[in-house]
Structures are given as C-alpha cells and as structure tokens.
Amino acid sequence: MSGTSGLSYESAGVNYDHLDAFKRACQAAAKTTVSSHAPHGYREPENIRGDSAFLLEGEHDYLAHVEEGLGTKNLVADAVLALTGKSFYANIGIDTVATIVNDLITCGGLPISVAMHAAVGAGEWFNDPRRGEELAKGFAAGCIEAGAVWGGGETPALKGIVNPETIVLAGSAIGRVFPKSHRIAGEVHEGNAIIFLASTGVQTNGLTLCRALADRLPEGYRTKMDDGRPYGEALLDASAIYVKFVAALQQAKLQPKYLAHVTGHGWRKLMRLPQNLVYRIDHVREPLPVFRFIAKAGRINASEMYGTFNMGVGFAAYVREDDADHCVAIAKTVGYDAWRAGVVLKQGDRKAVEIPSLGLIYEGDTLKLR
C-alpha cells in the first residue's frame, strides 16, 4: 500500500465538473417548462432550482418531489457476497430510501410516498431469491423509518445498457410541507449556528473511490481495519434516515433556517445556498474508523477526504443561535447523535467553508450546483 500513489475521486472516475455542468444545463432547460404549473393550481417558488428538493406551491401547502440514485454501493455488496457469502442487501434497500428522503426533507417536507426504480441488465438478476427478498425488505424498512408508504416502482431489464450481473437502484419520493410555514427556504444569516447530525459511515457517497481503493489492497474487501472489521463490511453499514429529526423540529415549533444533506461533494455541500456566506466549522470530531482507513490506505489528503466524503456528518441544520442547544437536544431525544459544530459568518462577497483546525478552506467556486 505504501508504494501506491494517492487516490482521488477524479482519478477513480468521478469528475463533478462534468456532472454539475450537465445539471446546470438541465436546470436551464427545465425553466422553460414552468408555465405547465398553472392548470394544476400550483406555482413554482422563486430560486428553488438547485436545491435538494423541488417544490410546487399550492394554496394551502407545498408539494415536494425528489428523484435520487443509490450510486455504486450495491457493487460493494455484490463483491462481499461473492467473497464471504454474507448478504447486505437489506442495508442496500435502506440506503436507497435514505438517499431519496434525506434530500426531500431539506425543504421541510415530510415524505408521503416512495417509489423504487431497479434497472437490471438481465432479468436473471432476480433469480437469487435471498438477494431480492432482502433488498425488498430493506426498502420497506427504510420507508417505515421515513414514515412513508412504498407506492410502487419500475424494474426494467436494460440489456446492452446495464451489465447483466448488475442492478442500478434509484427512486423518487413525494412529500408535503403543511402548514406552509414549515417550509425551509434557506434564509441563513450571519451568526446562525451550524448543528451536525452524525452519519453511520460512508452512507451513499464516495463509493467509486472506495471501490478503487479495494482494488489496490492485497486482501481487497477482506482487509481488516484498525478496529478489526473487514473493510468491505464497514462500507456496507446502512445509512441514517433523518426524517424523524425534521418531524421533531416541526412538533417543537423550532424553525431551522436551512437543512443540508451531506452527500456528494462532502463538506462542500455546507455552502449549497447561493448566498455569499462563510461556514466556519469549529468542532471537528475524530473521523470514524472507516474514514481513517480510507485516508491512510489510499494516501488521501484531508482536503480530498472532506471534499468527497461526509466524514461522519450526514446532515446539518442551520438555526438561530438562541435555538442551537434546543436543536441538539431535540435531535438526541429522537435518537440522533448531534452537536454544535460551527457558525455562519459574513465576509464581504466571499463564499466558503472553513475548517480552521484542519487548515482547510473550500471556496465557493468548488461547488457549482446552480
């Protein structure tokens, strides 16, 4: 391992400059369709495009919609199953729901219905009853955790597009913001506190890099980390679902200024809003064992790690300073590990995420989602 060059997300095959450029092109084209809202009695709120969830405003409520994909985590599950005989597909089902509903709740909407999209290269993928049944049970468990019904889905066989032995997992969700005052519109100001909620591990982002690292390890996914766990199994811990946190905030009448699902782009996601603000993180926890292992074995520097992975933070809430301690207490009451992590600053026209204890600064031009 010591003789390998350092890994990066781009060297592993993921270039966000290309992906984000396409997203921005889609947003521009999508804006030409907005006149279609009117016949249905809904309108599009201003500046909604580029957020994690799409909103439609009605007379008494907002409807929220999200489409999301799992990524490549199921390829790790396939590899571990082949190596050890252990199936983690129930966790994969939970992961798929989590990546969808954790985006949806950032607007203040609670999920009502979730759909699965499971595309395979050949119908024979479903001939493994154990794998298929575990995936279904996990997806249902994720929906129950999110307080949503599993409303349906699609299972196409896409020969020539998807590898015959592979499944591509994604899905969508519909949610509702009611009453309308529960909408979280991103009204962040200088002095607001930043609250972090812990992740369970890598969750659903950065897996392409994780797989590239496994290819470099002499024992691959069987490699033991410092805590004794096999690397592959650690990658497959199920993601946290943060719906109960948002529901608890609403019940307590604590209105956050903004919520961020920390996935792709790592901690750069903390500056997803268009405002020119600086997000300074003063309380950085020791990374989880899986992240320490990835950094050491892959010779990956801190800038790449925190700009790619969640590093133990799955969700962030921006709240008034006076609400910070209450927000942390609410999160803990409903079962989440939460802590006060930082503060929002105004520094002219600058936009950045700063992590002073690590000597890291991510300027605004490193995250171009709008």
CA-wise closest residue to 74 among 193, 211, 253, 198? 211
Spatial contact of 284 and 296, defined as CB atoms under 8 Å apart: no
CA atoms of 280 and 267, how far apart (whole Å): 11
Q: Which pLDDT score, from 0 to 100, does residue 3 have?
A: 38
Q: How buried is residue 279: exposed, middle or buried, by Cβ count under 10 Å (0-12/13-18/19+)?
A: buried
85: left (phi over 0), alpha (psi -120 to 50) or beta: left
| Chain position carrying tokens 């520097």 | 301
Instruction: Name the helix (H) or strand (E) containing 237.
Output: none
> pTM (2 decimals)?
0.91
Q: Which pLDDT score, from 0 to 100, does residue 309 have?
A: 97
pLDDT tens sequence for the chain (370 residues): 333 457 766 665 566 566 677 767 877 787 787 777 767 778 888 777 777 889 999 999 999 999 999 999 999 999 999 999 999 999 999 999 999 999 999 999 999 999 999 999 999 999 989 999 999 999 999 999 999 999 999 999 999 999 999 999 999 999 999 999 999 999 999 999 999 999 999 999 999 999 999 999 999 999 999 999 999 999 999 999 999 999 999 999 999 999 999 998 999 999 999 999 999 999 999 999 999 999 999 999 999 999 999 999 999 999 999 999 999 999 999 999 999 999 999 999 999 999 999 999 999 998 876 5
CA atoms of 103 and 152, how far apart (whole Å): 19
Whole-angstrom CA distances from 301 to 7, 224, 273, 280, 297 are 9, 21, 26, 20, 11
- Backbone torsions φ then ψ of 336, nearest 5 degrees: -105, 145
Q: Which pLDDT score, from 0 to 100, does residue 6 have?
A: 73
Q: Which pLDDT score, from 0 to 100, does residue 12 have?
A: 57
Cβ atoms within 10 Å, residue 31 = 10
